[in-house]
Amino acid sequence: MQFRDLKQQYQVLKKDIDAAMVEVATNCNFINGQQVKDLEKELADYVGVKHCVTCGNGTDALTMAMMAWGIGKGDAVFVPDFTFFSSGEIVSHAGATPVFVDVELDTFNISVEALEKAVKKVITEGKLVPKAVVAVDLFGLPADFAGVRKVADKYGLKVLEDGAQGFGGNIAGKRACSFGDISTTSFFPAKPLGCYGDGGAVFTDDDEMADILESIRVHGKGEMKYDNVRIGLNSRLDTIQAAILSIKLKAFDQYELVDVNKVAEKYTEGLAPLKGKVKTPVIPESFYSSWAQYTIQLEDRSTRDKLQSELKAAGIPSMVYYPKPMHRQEAFAGYEYDDVDFPNTMRLCDTVLSLPMHPYLKDEEIDLIIKVLSESIK
């Protein structure tokens, strides 16, 4: 059993993907080929924004946003404490200070109440200037952007949507990667829409920002390749990855997103008898998840670890996302944080477990997972 079955997906899409890769090899347009431009339009249309700028990976996409806004020393950028490291790493790379914020137990996403509290604290201390908030769409579910935007507007913050896991999700029909002043995603192979290597994209409705982002991704170029008007990156999406993503985007839109939501429904229904011992993911009204992960919560760490061990013995893969909060990462040891300020994150790190999740998961596999889980928890 696969945690995310890319092999099965490839077999389904093999004919079209192989043809797309051969076309790139035949034409030898490996860098900035027409397929890149075509994909950027397809992605912008799908998300519902004016501009999509592809790049080398999801971390570079976030970095490009920091650079485009001129975020740097003396600036405070607010980041959820329960997320992947890159969401905070890019802040430090920019020379700014990441200020970690607790999350909601139900959705795993940044707490609006905790966000405003953190902003007020920074303003009161007077050492940093609040500049931006990184709102992560964790596990496929968009963050509470109505609440985040209200706080951002009140205190003059830019909103950076980290949609690395959220691509395909929506709130009342408005799709993920369209909520930020700048939004980003990742095409890492295991993401909801993944390529066959690394890849990422930046989304915005701001014409000026789009021009700056396009410049940044190619060494800060100006009118031509050898006219460099700013410090930039070398972060282009390869043509062959764009060709693959274009094929996979069609499948994602036509049936994969629907199918992965059916898998989630089967999990939730099958685990319902364990209510009180197993907490299944919560999808708020009008929200739609792309299910990058199906993450349950157990009663405590020992219960979680026992279950994971028994799943492994049955040949069922599972993962803990994430075992350590951001504020406890050694890389951020220079900042002063207290565990009591992050009660939800601390609990989640002890209790979460992600189960196999992908559009090609068979009913009998889901049944086996639920059976092993139920026997372990009873």
Segment 292-308, tens digit of pLDDT: 999 999 999 999 999 99
Q: What is the pLDDT of residue 31?
A: 95
Q: CA-to-CA distance for 224 and 306, rounded, in angstroms? A: 59
DSSP-derived 3-state class of residue 132: strand
Q: CA-to-CA distance for 70 and 63, rounded, in angstroms? A: 11
For the chain, where are the alpha helices, taking DSSP H only?
A: 6-27, 34-47, 58-69, 86-93, 112-125, 145-155, 207-217, 239-251, 257-271, 301-313, 343-351, 363-377
Beta carbons within 8 Å of 34's beta carbon, 6+ residues apart: none
Q: Are residues 276 and 236 in the same domain?
A: no
Which of these three, 248, 283, 310, is where a domain ends? 248
Q: Is residue 316 a part of any domain in this protein? A: yes
Q: Is residue 176 a part of any domain in this protein? A: yes
Query: Residue 287 pLDDT > 90, yes or no?
Result: yes
Which among 245, 241, 239, 369 is positioned nearest to 312, based on CA atoms?
369
- Tell me the residue type at 183: S
pLDDT in tens, 320-358: 999 999 999 999 999 989 999 999 999 999 999 999 999
Q: CA-to-CA distance for 248 and 339, rounded, in angstroms? A: 42
Q: What are phi and psi of 174, to 5 degrees?
A: -85, 125
DSSP-derived 3-state class of residue 366: helix
Q: Are residues 239 and 318 in the same domain?
A: no
Query: Residue 264 pLDDT > 90, yes or no?
Result: yes
Q: Please give the structure tokens belonging to residue 326.
A: 């951001």
Q: What is the pLDDT of residue 60?
A: 98
Q: CA-to-CA distance for 59 and 78, rounded, in angstroms? A: 17
Q: Is residue 124 a part of any domain in this protein? A: yes
Q: Is residue 321 a part of any domain in this protein? A: yes
Domain limits for position 192 = 6-101+109-248
DSSP-derived 3-state class of residue 331: helix
Q: Are 189 and 196 in contact (CB under 8 A)?
A: yes
Beta carbons within 8 Å of 273's beta carbon, 6+ residues apart: 374
Q: How far apart are the first and last CA of the chain?
A: 24
Q: Are 306 and 80 in contact (CB under 8 A)?
A: no
Q: Are residues 239 and 282 in the same domain?
A: no
Q: Is residue 1 a part of any domain in this protein? A: no
Q: What are phi and psi of 325, to 5 degrees?
A: -70, 160
Average pLDDT over every residue of 112-117: 98
Q: Is residue 30 a part of any domain in this protein? A: yes
Q: Are residues 283 and 242 in the same domain?
A: no
Q: What is the pLDDT of residue 307?
A: 98
Q: Are residues 371 and 292 in the same domain?
A: yes
DSSP-derived 3-state class of residue 365: helix
Q: Are residues 277 and 204 in the same domain?
A: no
pLDDT in tens, 162-179: 999 999 999 999 999 999
Q: Are residues 140 and 274 in the same domain?
A: no
Beta carbons within 8 Å of 193's beta carbon, 6+ residues apart: 167, 168, 185, 187, 245, 248, 249, 252
Q: Please give the structure tokens belonging to residue 37.
A: 């431009």
Domains of the chain: total: 2
Q: What is the residue-averaged pLDDT of the chain?
A: 97
Query: Residue 378 pLDDT > 90, yes or no?
Result: no
DSSP 8-state symbol, 108: -
Query: Residue 121 pLDDT > 90, yes or no?
Result: yes
Q: Are residues 212 and 236 in the same domain?
A: yes
Q: Are residues 189 and 305 in the same domain?
A: no
Supply the pTM of this predicted model. 0.97
Q: Are residues 211 and 280 in the same domain?
A: no
Which among 12, 4, 18, 8 is positioned nearest to 240, based on CA atoms?
18
Q: CA-to-CA distance for 5 and 9, rounded, in angstroms? A: 7
DSSP-derived 3-state class of residue 39: helix
Q: Are residues 69 and 187 in the same domain?
A: yes
CATH code, domain with 291: 3.90.1150.10
Q: What is the pLDDT of residue 225?
A: 83
Give the number of residues written for the chain: 378
Q: Are residues 240 and 291 in the same domain?
A: no
Q: Is residue 60 a part of any domain in this protein? A: yes
Which of these three, 248, 270, 301, is where a domain ends? 248
Which of these three, 248, 267, 292, is where a domain ends? 248
Count of other CB atoms within 10 angstroms of residue 228: 14
Q: Please give the structure tokens belonging to residue 348.
A: 């989640």
Q: CA-to-CA distance for 217 and 234, rounded, in angstroms? A: 6
Which among 201, 210, 82, 190 is positioned nearest to 134, based on CA atoms?
82
Q: What is the pLDDT of residue 55?
A: 98
